[in-house]
Structure 1
Amino acid sequence: MATVTAIDDVRVFTGDGLTRPRRVYVEGESIVADGTPDVVVDGAGKVLLPGLIDSHIHTLGRDDLADLAQAGVTTGLDMAAWPLPFVTEMRGQAGVAQILSATTPAVGPGGNHAKMPGFPADGIVTTPQEAHAFVERRIADGADYIKIVTEAAPPEGMDRATVKAIVEAAHEHNRLVVAHSITTGAFRVAVEAGVDISTHAPLDAVLDDETVARMRDAGMVSSPTLTMMRGIAGVRAGAGLKYEYARDTVTKFHEAGIRLLVGTDANSAPGVPFAPRHGTSFHDELELMVEAGLTPVEALRGATTLTARTFELDDRGAVEPGRRADLVLVDGDPTTDITATRAIEGVWIAGERVR
């Protein structure tokens, strides 16, 4: 018989606000409607959140996933990882954050990503014909979504026809397409190609009204990774890059009604310009999103229910019977004070308490 845990007298985040104090039951890996508890956790004065979902991470090993879990991030959406045996190993880790992965991203032949040590040759895409073959390889790898880099024009990066061909091939396989874009020009390429999700926010200027409107009308989603944008702008200030451009773009996205997800670009790779820490940076990101104009409830929604819905993670993202028991108990009310997400009292991943 699986252990039944009851979290008692706790207010639950629904995606829109908090319930009245109630009891939540966990049996085995799932949230259940009722039961006879073997363990009772006092939730009085506390708030129970669905497990937090970081919509943009990179992992180099189990330690990264453990750091996510300690900070209440129970799922991480990895946006580039290789080789495939490593990705498979990380997907199978128990007791730490679960990952999904794009596996190898698509990049142009001469950009910075292609020059990374050990970058797989089959991730370099130069023509629309190669684009279809690239997507077929990622589907064979079990990629959960397709990641592309739209940062530079040829000869460094991919041309627009190649980016569009990747998007079309991915959509034929019912995969979402996530585009790395940190300049206004890269955003325009992503919009014209019909990508589903943009990650990062521009550092060269505030994104123009026309492109924002096209994103809204196309139903594009943004994971702006303000933590990373602030870090990159700090180390490359002499290049004319400004964090304020990224922040003000997010404000425009919010005002336009574009869906905003919480993501950090957390990574632990040596030699990168900036490396947000797994887990702790997620709480930084929540606070930066609120500073950019989101309400605490909207930021929490972008960290839980909205990300789960966007990536079709139907087994998580809500505290409801039948869902996977990924839960975070915090001391305080993050719907009024977003910093309360840092006051973690307990984390459960698939019903197992990890903190």
Structure 2
Amino acid sequence: MATPFTLLHARLVDRSEVLPGDCLRVVDGRIAAIGGSEIAQPGDELVDGRGLTAFPGLIDAHVHLAPGCAQLAATFGVTTLIDLFSKPEVIAHERSVEGPVCADFRSSGVGATAPGGHPTMAYAPIPYVTGPEDAKQFVADRIAEGADHLKVIYDDGSGAMMNIPTLDDPTLRALTQEAHARNLTVVAHVSTTAGAVKVVSCGVDVLAHAPSDPMSPSDIEAVAAAGVAVIATLDIVDGFNGPAGGLPLLDEPELIARMPGRWRRVLDRQSRRWMPPQPPDCAAARANTVALLRAGVRILAGTDAPNPGLVFGASLHRELAYLVRAGLTPAEALVAATNAPAEVFGLTDRGRLMIGARADLVLVDGDPLSDIAATQRIRRTWVAGRAVEPAAYAGSTAELAGVRYLGETTARIVAALREKWPGFPAPEDVRREDGELLGRVVPLTGGWMPVTVFGAALGPVTDRDTAVSTVESEGLASLGETWWARADGPDWQEAVLVEAQPDRIRLRWKDPLVAQPPAGQWYDVIDVDLSRTRPL
């Protein structure tokens, strides 16, 4: 059991208000007292909170689990995750973790979708729902697997100019009625206004995603009258290039300072992928979100991590910023990530700073009620009274497992897209006449990038033929050059590539003072940064 501690002289924020007391005592993972410094007891660990603000641990109301994600989320002050579609083996893995301090989570398990419907590409094989007659058994199976709520999918692809199978009205109603009979909250995936209006008429409780097309006043009224909550997920836009050409999360210094190296490299690679020439700006979703809030709809903060450009925990801070940009006050945004999702999902023991609540706490530098960016300046986090140690995750087997899982899922989705739409842009191998792999050309929005067999850039983005020529002439020749590499620390050093494979490389550092085997050392590609020129 963790040692009791007392947080002294901090600004304490609960439900958008500053509490009169400035000290908070934690015993056995619960808040035991709130008041002045007199609440501290002999033997308590004393935490100096002067100049800092404490608020309830953040709740991300929309994620999809990956190995190690609960530990990663906690390093960014997210202490509870609401999972809205994961397979049983991933859920079991996260529930079996012991030792490190991790975010708590609640899960829907596999969501209800039509055969071949969204998100089959990412998760197949999965059980499907073919009609209303399947509802009872589907809900029973999810409960048997430990589901805490039910996810249903209504998405015919119209929001992305596609045509995909989806559940019909009678099936949606049957699933919702069966879930309610079993005391489960029902969350519906929708992407359009028409979808939102349809699913609320079928009785669902929560909409996953603010519609991406403009809602009329009558649409707003229909959703508000249904009494549903809406998970905004405005940060989805972060999967697309920002003004400087990189993914926006990479430009958040406080978040990147906490970002484990492997996830930073994931973001870097995701920034070098094909994207639509006209990426969404989510303006309609932002307008819908604030209009729904003003109509009385409860808005919840959720990220949809780990979609491209999104990282567990870190991206919730971006979501809060987007909510404020949409028109919410910082206080309303903070509520959307604390007590609002706790109440909607029946988590009565958290989301508040009150006696008896779980001691899920975040301590930050600044005042998030006036500047929402203050949530990024995390100084301490506790989950049920246990202090989070961010360094325990970076470089761990949990981090490696999560990044590999994401890579496998991405490869599966890209393969499915290419099978369904043969012209879908995807990386292409460049081989010598004898079949030896020389490198690849990667399609980007502005052209093609030539890369080595292990994914490092060989040159600038250009047309496809020029990129192929670059790989043919430099793909193998570049391996004999001196490269700049960064593996175990922040500094770049010169190195020789002794051997290279698609997923790992053998480096020999040129600095004679570096301890290393004579033939060099193997590194997984996700564990090292590489550049042909010295980075600035």
Q: Give the alignment's TM-score, normalised by structure 2.
A: 0.61
Larger radius of gyration: 2
Q: Say if 2:135 and 2:175, in contact at 8 Å, map to a contact too.
A: yes
Q: Say if 2:57 and 2:79, in contact at 8 Å, map to a contact too.
A: yes
Q: Say if 1:150 and 1:179, in contact at 8 Å, map to a contact too.
A: yes
With over 3 angstroms needed to count, the CA separation of the structure-2 counterparts of 1:280 and 1:115, relative to structure 1, is closer
Q: What SS is found at the alignment partner of 2:122? A: coil
Q: Say if 1:228 and 1:265, in contact at 8 Å, map to a contact too.
A: yes
Q: What SS is found at the alignment partner of 2:71? A: helix
Q: Say if 2:67 and 2:93, in contact at 8 Å, map to a contact too.
A: no
In structure 1, what is the Cα distance between the partners aligned to 2:361 and 2:279? 41
Moved more, 179-188 or 44-53: 179-188
**Amino acid of the residue matched to residue 122 of structure 2?**
M
Deviation sequence 1:94-125 (CA, Å, 0-9, x none) = 511111100010111132412335331x2x11
Residue ranges of structure 2 left out of the alignment (5+ in a row): 34-38, 158-162, 243-273, 390-536
In structure 2, what is the Cα distance between the partners aligned to 1:155 and 1:61? 29
**2:235 matches 1:231:** no
| Alpha-carbon shift at residue 141 of structure 1 (Å) | 1.4
In structure 1, what is the Cα distance between the partners aligned to 2:153 and 2:332? 28
**2:338 matches 1:338:** no
Give the match for residue 173 of structure 2. 164
Deviation sequence 1:245-302 (CA, Å, 0-9, x none) = 11111121122121101110111xxxx6x34111111100000001111111111111
In structure 1, what is the Cα distance between the partners aligned to 2:204 and 2:361? 31
Q: What SS is found at the alignment partner of 1:313? A: coil
With over 3 angstroms needed to count, the CA separation of the structure-2 counterparts of 1:339 and 1:114, relative to structure 1, is same
Q: How many residues align?
A: 345
Moved more, 174-183 or 150-159: 150-159
**2:320 matches 1:286:** yes
Indicate which of 280, 299, 302 corresponds to 2:336.
302
Q: Say if 1:223 and 1:263, in contact at 8 Å, map to a contact too.
A: yes
Residue ranges of structure 1 left out of the alignment (5+ in a row): none
In structure 1, what is the Cα distance between the partners aligned to 2:278 and 2:50? 51
In structure 2, what is the Cα distance between the partners aligned to 1:232 and 1:258? 28
Moved more, 333-342 or 274-283: 274-283
Q: What SS is found at the alignment partner of 1:41? A: strand
Deviation sequence 1:298-320 (CA, Å, 0-9, x none) = 11111101111111111111122
Q: Which has the higher contact order (CA 8 A, sep 6+)?
A: 1
Indicate which of 282, 295, 299 corresponds to 1:243.
282
Q: Say if 1:29 and 1:351, in contact at 8 Å, map to a contact too.
A: yes
| Alpha-carbon shift at residue 237 of structure 1 (Å) | 4.8
User: Superposed, which structure 2 residues align to 1:52-201 within 5 Å?
Assistant: 52-62=58-68, 64-83=69-88, 85-94=89-98, 95-120=101-126, 122=127, 124-152=128-156, 156-201=165-210
Q: What SS is found at the alignment partner of 1:116? A: helix
Deviation sequence 1:108-158 (CA, Å, 0-9, x none) = 1132412335331x2x11200112221111111121000011011897111
Indicate which of 230, 236, 253 corresponds to 2:292.
253
Q: Say if 2:62 and 2:304, in contact at 8 Å, map to a contact too.
A: yes
Q: Give the alignment's TM-score, normalised by structure 1.
A: 0.91
In structure 1, what is the Cα distance between the partners aligned to 2:17 and 2:44? 29
User: Superposed, which structure 2 residues align to 1:262-273 within 5 Å?
Assistant: 262-267=301-306
In structure 2, what is the Cα distance between the partners aligned to 1:155 and 1:72? 37
In structure 2, what is the Cα distance between the partners aligned to 1:198 and 1:263? 11
In structure 2, what is the Cα distance between the partners aligned to 1:213 and 1:43? 44
| Alpha-carbon shift at residue 232 of structure 1 (Å) | 6.8
